C-alpha cells in the first residue's frame, strides 16, 4: 500500500515535505520569544516561502501560545498548521482546539522512548509508554486525520522498542512518524541506519510518512537530515536560520539549498520558493534581534562574497568557478536605489509588493509610508534594505504595549547629556526628562522613569543597515531579568533613536516572556 496522506494525498516518490518549526522549537529557545503580531508576520512569510507545514506553537504552554496557534490557524491559508502536544489528554484537546479552524490542520504529539528519558524524565516503564502512545494517537485521531507522532530522543532509543512504538503509532492512526535526534548526538550514519531499519522492519511502515528532526549540538543537524532523507525520510523538520533549542535545529535554508544544489545525491524536490529565503531570514533577524553570523551558510553576509583576488578573477570569468549556487537563487540582489522623497504612495505600495509584502493592510502601509517619507527626507539614497528594516519594524511592533513616540537629546563633550523622551504605554503617552553620562545613558534612564523595571542591560551593539554616513543604524539591546534574556532591535538614521527603539522592543519581549509559564517537562 502506498502513502495516501490526508493533507498531501498521494505523495510523489521524490516529494519531500518541509515542516517548519521556527515558531515552536525555534521560538522556545532563549531570547527568541515573539509576540502575536510577530508570529503572525513570520507565519505569513513562511507561507510565502512555500513551507508545507507550519508548527505554530505548543498550545498548552500558555494562554498566549494557544492564542497564537489559533490565530495562525485562522489567518494563514496554504500550509498545514500544526500544534504540538505531549501524549496527554489535556495537551491533545488544547492542541485540537487551537488548530480546529485551520484550512488544513495537524496535531503533533511526542513522547520520550529512550531508556534514559523513560527512567529519569517520565519515570515510566516501557510498556506504559507504549500504551500511552496508542491512547494518545487514538485520541488525537478523533480530532483530525493528520496526526504526527514523535519518538522524543528517538536516536538514543533501543531499536526493538523504537520499532514497537512506531508500529503501534501507525496502527493507532499516526500518518507521520518523526524520529528526532533530540539531543544532537547522532552521526549521519546513525540516522541512515535508524531510518533504513524502521522502514524495513515495521509492519505498515509504507502507510506513514517518515520525518527527521535534528538538533545541532555537534554541528551535524543538516548532515543528519540529508542522511535521513537518503534513507527514505520524506518530511524534514527545520527552522529559519537554524534557530532552536540549545545549538538549534537544522537550518531550512541550508537543507533546501543542499537538496537543490545536489539533485544527483539527494533526488528530492522541496516546494520552497528559494528566492524568498533571504527575505525570510532577515525578517526573523529583525523580529528576534539576532543577526546570523557573517559566515553563516546561504544567508550570512559573506556567504556570496569573494574577497581574494584569485576568487574574484575566477568569478568574473565564470561565476561557476567559485559559486555552487547563484546569489539570486536565494533572493540576494544587489542594493538597488528604490525611490526618493518625491515617490508617491502607489509606487511605495508597488515596491512593498516587489519586496514580498503583498498582503499588508492599509494601516500598515500608511504608517510605513509616513516613516519612509521621513527617512527619504533625512537620507540621500533609500535602498531596499532600508525599506525592509522600516516595514518590518512597523509590522512587528503592532501589538507592543510600549511604543516609541519621540526623543530629543542634548549631548556633547562639555557636560552631562540630557534626554527628553515620550513613550506610549498601553495607549497613553508619557514623558520624562533625564540626564546621564552620554546620550544613551540619559535616554535609557528616561525609559526607566517612564516604565520602571528591574531588567539589566547586558549587551548593546550598533551596526549599519547599508553603507554611507547617512545609513540607518541597526542597534541590538539585550536585557536580562531573573534569568530570562531577551534581545530587541531598532533601526533609524539617528543612532540614539535606533537604540531607544531597540530597548523598547526588548522590554516588550520581556513582558511577553513574563506572561509565559512553561509546562512541566517541556524538553522538546
Ligand atoms: O527535539 C525534539 O525531540 C522535539 C520533538 C517535540 C519533535 O522537538
Ligand atoms: Zn526539537
Residue 152 is inside which H or E element, if any? strand 147-152
Burial class of 9 by CB neighbour count within 10 A (0 to 12, 13 to 18, 19+): exposed
Spatial separation of the C-alpha atoms in residues 192 and 226, rounded to whole Å? 9
What confidence score (pLDDT) does residue 434 get? 97
Mean pLDDT (the chain, rounded): 90
DSSP secondary structure letter of residue 302: T
For residue range 160-191, what is the model confidence (pLDDT) as tens digits? 999 999 999 999 999 999 999 999 999 999 99
Counting ligand 1 atoms within 8 A of each CB, the residue from 107, 162, 180 with the most, and so the one to mutate, is 180
Count the Cβ atoms, other than its own, within 10 Å of residue 75.
Answer: 15
Choice between 304 and 219, residue whose per-residue pLDDT is larger: 219
87 lines ligand 1 (CB under 6 A): no
Taking the centre of ligand 1 as the mean of its atom positions, its distance from the CA of residue 373, in whole angstroms, is: 45
Counting ligand 1 atoms within 8 A of each CB, the residue from 182, 214, 246, 248 with the most, and so the one to mutate, is 182
Choice between 126 and 305, residue whose per-residue pLDDT is larger: 126
Q: Please give the CATH number for the structural domain made up of 402-514.
A: 3.30.160.270
Taking the centre of ligand 2 as the mean of its atom positions, its distance from the CA of residue 445, in whole angstroms, is: 39
Spatial separation of the C-alpha atoms in residues 59 and 71, rounded to whole Å? 11
Spatial separation of the C-alpha atoms in residues 166 and 149, rounded to whole Å? 8
Taking the centre of ligand 1 as the mean of its atom positions, its distance from the CA of residue 110, in whole angstroms, is: 7
pLDDT at 517 over 80: no
For residue range 307-320, what is the model confidence (pLDDT) as tens digits? 666 776 777 788 88
Give 7's pLDDT tier (boundaries 50, 70, 90). Answer: very high
What confidence score (pLDDT) does residue 516 get? 63
Residues 6+ apart with CB under 8 A from 347: 339
- Among 59, 79, 55, smallest CA distance to 67 is for 59
What confidence score (pLDDT) does residue 428 get? 96
Spatial separation of the C-alpha atoms in residues 188 and 326, rounded to whole Å? 27
Name the 3-class secondary structure at 90: helix
pLDDT at 35 over 90: no
- Among 221, 226, 249, smallest CA distance to 21 is for 249
This prediction's pTM = 0.81
Taking the centre of ligand 2 as the mean of its atom positions, its distance from the CA of residue 84, in whole angstroms, is: 11
Q: Alpha helix (H) ranges present in 178-251? A: 188-201, 221-230
Q: Percent of the chain, pLDDT > 70?
A: 94
Range with the lowest mean pLDDT among 100-104, 220-224, 243-247, 384-388? 384-388
Spatial separation of the C-alpha atoms in residues 498 and 386, rounded to whole Å? 13
Give 523's pLDDT tier (boundaries 50, 70, 90). Answer: very low
What number is the average pLDDT over the span 322-326? 90
148 lines ligand 1 (CB under 6 A): no
Give 337's pLDDT tier (boundaries 50, 70, 90). Answer: very low
Spatial separation of the C-alpha atoms in residues 247 and 458, rounded to whole Å? 21
Max CA distance (Å), the chain: 81
What number is the average pLDDT over the span 42-51? 96
Residues 6+ apart with CB under 8 A from 131: none
Spatial separation of the C-alpha atoms in residues 262 and 266, rounded to whole Å? 6
Q: Where in the chain is the domain with CATH 3.30.160.270?
A: 402-514
249 lines ligand 1 (CB under 6 A): no
Choice between 489 and 77, residue whose per-residue pLDDT is larger: 77
**What residue owns the CA closest to ligand 1's atom 4?**
524
What confidence score (pLDDT) does residue 476 get? 87
**What residue owns the CA closest to ligand 1's atom 6?**
524
What confidence score (pLDDT) does residue 451 get? 96
What number is the average pLDDT over the span 392-412? 84
Q: Where in the chain is the domain with CATH 3.20.20.70?
A: 14-288
Pairing of β 53-57 and β 80-86: parallel
Is residue 43 within 8 A of residue 54, CB to CB? The reply is: yes
Dihedral angle computed from the Cα positions of residues 119, 121, 126 and 132, in that order, rounded to the nearest 10 degrees: 160
Spatial separation of the C-alpha atoms in residues 244 and 479, rounded to whole Å? 20
Is residue 451 within 8 A of residue 445, CB to CB? The reply is: no
Is residue 284 within 8 A of residue 59, CB to CB? The reply is: no
Count the Cβ atoms, other than its own, within 10 Å of residue 203.
Answer: 11
- For residue 521, the number of C-alpha atoms closer than 13 Å in the C-beta half-sphere is 15
154 lines ligand 1 (CB under 6 A): no
Residue 151 is inside which H or E element, if any? strand 147-152
What confidence score (pLDDT) does residue 174 get? 98
Range with the lowest mean pLDDT among 14-18, 120-124, 361-365, 447-451? 361-365
Domain 14-288 coded CATH 3.20.20.70: yes
What number is the average pLDDT over the span 449-461? 93
Spatial separation of the C-alpha atoms in residues 249 and 253, rounded to whole Å? 12
pLDDT at 333 over 80: no
Q: Nearest-5° angle of CA 348, CA 351, CA 356?
A: 130
Amino acid at each position: 500500500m502506498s502513502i495516501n496522506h490526508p493533507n498531501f494525498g498521494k505523495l510523489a516518490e521524490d516529494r519531500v515535505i518541509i515542516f517548519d518549526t521556527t515558531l515552536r522549537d525555534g521560538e522556545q529557545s532563549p531570547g527568541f520569544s515573539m509576540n502575536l503580531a510577530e508570529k503572525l508576520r513570520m507565519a505569513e512569510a513562511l507561507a510565502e516561502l512555500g513551507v508545507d507545514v507550519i508548527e505554530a506553537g505548543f498550545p498548552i504552554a500558555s494562554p498566549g501560545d494557544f492564542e497564537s496557534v489559533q490565530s495562525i490557524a485562522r489567518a494563514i491559508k496554504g500550509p498545514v498548521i500544526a500544534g504540538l502536544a505531549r501524549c496527554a489528554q489535556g495537551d491533545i484537546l488544547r492542541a485540537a482546539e487551537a488548530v480546529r479552524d485551520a484550512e488544513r490542520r495537524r496535531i503533533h504529539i511526542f513522547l520520550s522512548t529512550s531508556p534514559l528519558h523513560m527512567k529519569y524524565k517520565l519515570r515510566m516503564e516501557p510498556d506504559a509508554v507504549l500504551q500511552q502512545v496508542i491512547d494518545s494517537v487514538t485520541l488525537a485521531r478523533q480530532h483530525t486525520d493528520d496526526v504526527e507522532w514523535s519518538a522524543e530522543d528517538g536516536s538514543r532509543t533501543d531499536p526493538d522498542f523504537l520499532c514497537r512504538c512506531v508500529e503501534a503509532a501507525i496502527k493507532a492512526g499516526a500518518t507521520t512518524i518523526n524520529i528526532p535526534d533530540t539531543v544532537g548526538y547522532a552521526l549521519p550514519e546513525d540516522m541512515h541506519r535508524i531510518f533504513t531499519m524502521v522502514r524495513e522492519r515495521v509492519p505498515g511502515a509504507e502507510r506513514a510518512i517518515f520525518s527527521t528532526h535534528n538538533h545541532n549540538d555537534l554541528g551535524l543537524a543538516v548532515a543528519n537530515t540529508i542522511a535521513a532523507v537518503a534513507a527514505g525520510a520524506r518530511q524534514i523538520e527545520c527552522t529559519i536560520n537554524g534557530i532552536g533549542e540549545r545549538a538549534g535545529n537544522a537550518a531550512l535554508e541550508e537543507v533546501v539549498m543542499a537538496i537543490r544544489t545536489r539533485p544527483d545525491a539527494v533526488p528530492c524536490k522541496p516546494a520552497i520558493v528559494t528566492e524568498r529565503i533571504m527575505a525570510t531570514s532577515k525578517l526573523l533577524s529583525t523580529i528576534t534581534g539576532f543577526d546570523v553570523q557573517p559566515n553563516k551558510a546561504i544567508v550570512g553576509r559573506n556567504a556570496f562574497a569573494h574577497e581574494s583576488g584569485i576568487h574574484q578573477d575566477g568569478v568574473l570569468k565564470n561565476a561557476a568557478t567559485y559559486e555552487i549556487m547563484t546569489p539570486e537563487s536565494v533572493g540576494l540582489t544587489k542594493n538597488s536605489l528604490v525611490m526618493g522623497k518625491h515617490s508617491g504612495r502607489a509606487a511605495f505600495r508597488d515596491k512593498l509588493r516587489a519586496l514580498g509584502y503583498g498582503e499588508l493592510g492599509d494601516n500598515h502601509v500608511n504608517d510605513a509610508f509616513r516613516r519612509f517619507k521621513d527617512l527619504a527626507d533625512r537620507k540621500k539614497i533609500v535602498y531596499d534594505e532600508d525599506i525592509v528594516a522600516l516595514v518590518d519594524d512597523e509590522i512587528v511592533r503592532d501589538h507592543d504595549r510600549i511604543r516609541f513616540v519621540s526623543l530629543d537629546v542634548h549631548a556633547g563633550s562639555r557636560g552631562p547629556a540630557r534626554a527628553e523622551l515620550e513613550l506610549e504605554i498601553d495607549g497613553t503617552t508619557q514623558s520624562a526628562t533625564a540626564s546621564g553620562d552620554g546620550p544613551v545613558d540619559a535616554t535609557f534612564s528616561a525609559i526607566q522613569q517612564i516604565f520602571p523595571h528591574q531588567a539589566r542591560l547586558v549587551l548593546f551593539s550598533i551596526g549599519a543597515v547599508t553603507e554611507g554616513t547617512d545609513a540607518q543604524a541597526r542597534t541590538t539591546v539585550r536585557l536580562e531579568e531573573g534569568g530570562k534574556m531577551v534581545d530587541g532591535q531598532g533601526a533609524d538614521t539617528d543612532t540614539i533613536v535606533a537604540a531607544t527603539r531597540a530597548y523598547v522592543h526588548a522590554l516588550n519581549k520581556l513582558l511577553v516572556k513574563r506572561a509565559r509559564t512553561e509546562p512541566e517537562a517541556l524538553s522538546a
